[in-house]
Structure 1
Amino acid sequence: MLRLQNVTYLVRDQDEALRFFVDALGFEVRQDQTFDGGWRRVVVGPAEGGTGLVLAVGAADAPVGAQAGADVAFFLETDDFAQAHSRMLAHGVRFREEPRHEPYGIVAIFEDLYGAPWDLIEPPRA
């Protein structure tokens, strides 16, 4: 079986990104380790498991906040949309729209700390 373990997520500052992902989204820190030479590896992800994000500081010309252009690149799934939405609003997360009901679930587009669009989605219950 193959699984996608981690993906690199470009950030300007790892501590700033940690606060966003842990406080606003409720992710856990899976690794925060500094190696010889000062290189720091920071990995966060949903507490329940799944793919993690390696928070990597991008070069000066890196597309931080635009890794997928203007498209949604990340789809954050929840089993309690109202709770996740409330938590995120309480932490200042900007939603581009009000939650809407679609055939594939309850969804709303929000912005990460760099303005990149994400979907928050609760799939329909079986």
Structure 2
Amino acid sequence: MPRLAHIALLVADYDKALAYYVCRLGFTLVEDTPQPEAGKRWVTICPPHAPVDATTILLACAAKPDQARAIGDQAGGRVFLFLATDDFTRDHAAFTEAGVEWVRPPSIHEYGIVAVFRDLYGNLWDLVEYDHPR
């Protein structure tokens, strides 16, 4: 059965992106393989404790001007990625302590609790715990 294997996230610099997602957000580095013939690297990350076959984020360094213009705005200003958690309070506190920029504070909805943060490039992410009791 088909499944989503990777989602490409345009970045300006592999190492700065890794410092943010791995060191600040606690993501796991899955692979970082140089591709010298193409002048790039195959860099994938995933949220901490993700299953082995989970969809990964491919950090794709922009190689052309039109790609560079899309860094931080791959979703046209909308929330681009949704990071689900089993403990919103724990992860919101950890991200806040790590200096994550929150653009919308936590709010409770029928589906759960959510807050929106901006990553180092400007992409908007939801941190969401689904089915949070009211």
Identify the residue that residue 24 of structure 1 maps to in structure 2.
24
Q: TM-score, normalised by structure 2?
A: 0.87
Summarize the Cα distance change of 1:95–1:125 in structure 2 as closer, same or farther, 3 Å threshold. closer
Count the aligned residue pairs.
126
Q: Aligned to 1:76, what secondary structure does the other structure show? A: strand
**Paired AA for residue 40 in structure 1:** R
Q: Contact 1:24/1:87 (CA < 8 Å) preserved in 2?
A: no
Taking only the aligned residue pairs, the percentage that are identical comes to 40
1:13-56 deviation per Cα after TM superposition (whole angstroms, max 9, x unaligned)? 01011111112222101100113334211100123132111101
**1:88-111 deviation per Cα after TM superposition (whole angstroms, max 9, x unaligned):** 111111001221111110101110
Aligned amino acid, residue 66 of structure 2 = D
- Is contact 2:42-2:58 (8 Å) kept? yes
CA contact (8 A) 1:97 1:109 kept: yes
Match of 1:4 in 2: 4
The 3 A distance-change label for structure 1 pair 97 and 52 is same
RMSD: 1.5
How far apart are the structure 1 equivalents of 2:111 and 2:28? Answer: 27
- Confirm or deny: 8 A CA contact 1:95 1:111 kept in the other structure: yes
TM-score, with length taken from structure 1: 0.92
